[in-house]
Structure 1
């Protein structure tokens, strides 16, 4: 029997060092990039590095916008910077660790740049895509310019990165499928009593500049937490989805869901009543910036998007599958006691006009952490509104 000769010790050291060096090279720089067309044809879940030009942000299966980017959550790649056919694009998810550097709302100058992205190839927005990326890099640059995902998330933004955990069953879906998936995620929440709502609102809507006060929704006034009650200048619990629209009253569930309950001046709440939301009307004297007529209410500009996203949440959370009414949005006003709320086309405009701000994001996080253990997905993923209703 012939024995294989032993390797020289120096050769062993060199071999080990070579392997270690290979493992330390960031994936985006070490792998041979494939084209976007190749990536579209390899939707098998395997990881790859894709090289392409940033041509916009996908907001639905067949929609990619090239300006006024709604968020930092996704981008589209193509083999040509002038490509307009969505069928020739790869949709790339951008998780929280990469959004500050590679999100288009924050970095619109990325449009037209050629980049490398590494991650598993699989459907996103029901379209050929790359999800849960591990690295981004400028194409052709040295390994030191590659951005790789940290071992643990370092983001401190309200909402954090819930794509890989909380929202994992919704990623890549659109339309009715996305709505159904989100309902399955957000309906498994802790429910409050109507009395518990008082104390919750004192935390969720706390004035960031004065911890003794809350901010009132329609007036924007900072008011003492202790002045909750029924007198005209007190604050009370406003059902943004009017509780008569579906006739759920203050029942545990839709009637006590803090995602759409907000502190509001008592008399202003009474003036709004159960009106749908729409443009126009006469100024509301006690709440400058708000307008109303016989059947609709227009809130001040600073909370138009907040109102829209609260109604989007309600229409997804309450689907009639857990003993509660099936709430739906429509394009009407004067919906009365029917389980509908409008006006959808205007709400979508307000949603785009007034994106989530720090107050709204903090509120979403506090509800998740301290009270209901569920989230408003349209604060975390504003692009999903157009995906479902656009």
Structure 2
């Protein structure tokens, strides 16, 4: 039975908003995104193709990594933010702080970093532009882990993994120093239908990767059939795709990506990196700015009937005109997180205490926010505008 959730009134400090800006998403950027389904996907493709100014794979991406893709969210130490080495709840196993640590040769984790194509470049052709240097899917990565991941699809590794990959990733299943995993796909539940070897990132970055794949499937949709047919039969990652230009993904991996997107909502890191990449190459990842576009285009994970809780959570008034926003919910909320346009967490609240059926967020400066609401039945992401 669904629980009627009530929450205490929360007063948010505005001190963290000193650098607040509303300029990250250009006014009118998504005005032509009016459709649903694959019509919306076509409209988004036009939006994110126009204005895309590809940059250098060598100098350009290195400079972006050095200046912008930094850890201002976990340890907040300004080190390179590598999703394969970051430990979001403890001390990182190693850090990269200098451009002199670019690869290079490596024999173990932590020796140097390079560039990881989340959609492996062997899939679309080595050096093919503009995807070759597209910063939305070419991310800084530990060189050794990048080599281990190679052309593997992303997926869910079966069973308990105890072996460290530094003994050799051929000794699978194994895990990296931040507990990313390599092994055979679980092939049950939401990942059924594929039993080959996969790479599984930690939970903190699963949604990030899913939204990257949705971006790639939209930005390069007109080429996805060519990419698929051109891929060698031995290229593992091709199992994620079906050769179409609309759906793009095979059923198994679409369900994995949809589940990761639902379970790991947009984070402050994604918001900030999306802004930085827009400044770098002139286009945005729409599935970070508008997470609801994913469901509008591809639907919900198979076998879930409570995935979309957005209709059960109300945020009002929105836009707000009095620096105050109210939230009410029909399902039990486990946590709330309010993020400003710079990717800063304004407030993070765990297990709110029941009170009167609503929560009031007060003293909010003018601007745009992302509110993530996690419940026992799923997650919702709401855009909030304070005028």
TM-score (ref. length: structure 2): 0.54
Determine if the alignment matches structure 1 residue 319 to structure 2 residue 221. Answer: yes
SS where residue 186 of structure 1 aligns? helix
**How far, CA to CA, are the matches of 1:268 and 1:158 in structure 2?**
37
CA deviation string 1:350-388 (max 9, x = no partner): 11111111111100001112x111100000011111111
Kindly report the root-mean-square deviation, in angstroms, between the aligned alpha carbons of the 2 structures: 3.3
Are 1:156 and 2:156 an aligned pair? Answer: no
The whole-number CA distance in structure 1 between the counterparts of 2:223 and 2:149 is 29
In the alignment, is residue 241 of structure 1 matched against residue 119 of structure 2?
A: yes
8 A contact 2:153–2:237 mirrored in 1: yes
Conserved? CA contact 2:113–2:143, under 8 Å: yes
What is the aligned partner in structure 2 of residue 123 from structure 1?
none
Conservation of the 8 A alpha-carbon contact between 1:313 and 1:376: yes
What's the counterpart of residue 362 of structure 1?
272
Superposed displacement of residue 274, structure 1: 0.7
Which structure 1 segments of 5+ residues have no match? Answer: 1-66, 69-107, 111-153
Aligned partner of 1:130 in structure 2 is none
**Mapping of residues 213-362 of structure 1, within 5 Å:** 213-220=79-86, 221=92, 222-226=95-99, 227-232=101-106, 233-246=111-124, 248-281=125-158, 282=161, 284-293=174-183, 294-320=196-222, 325=227, 334-335=237-238, 343-362=253-272
Question: Where does residue 177 of structure 1 map in the other structure?
Answer: 39
The DSSP-based 3-state class of the residue aligned with 2:296 is helix
Aligned counterparts of 2:289 and 2:131: Cα–Cα separation in 1: 21
1:230 CA drift (Å)? 2.5
Aligned to 2:80, what secondary structure does the other structure show? strand
Instruction: Describe the SS at the equivalent of 2:222.
Output: coil
Distance 1:168 1:305 in 2: 25
Shift of 1:341: 5.9
Which ranges in structure 2 are unaligned for 5 or more consecutive residues?
8-17, 87-91, 162-172, 184-195, 230-234, 300-387
Q: Deviations over 1:284-335 (max 9, x none)?
A: 433332122253111101100010011110000012379x9589xxxx9652
Query: Which residue does 2:342 correspond to in 1?
Result: none
In structure 2, C-alpha distance between the alignment counterparts of 1:341 and 1:242, rounded to whole Å: 15
Deviation per residue, 1:68-95 (Å, 9 max, x gap): 9xxxxxxxxxxxxxxxxxxxxxxxxxxx
8 Å contact 2:45–2:218 — kept in the other structure?
Answer: yes
1:384 maps to 2:293:
yes
**Alpha-carbon contact 1:277-1:333 (below 8 Å) kept:** no
SS at match of 2:139: strand
Residues paired across the two proteins, number: 233
CA distance in 1, matches of 2:46, 2:209: 23
Conserved 8 A contact 1:167-1:185: yes
Question: How far has the Cα of 1:337 moved from its partner?
Answer: 11
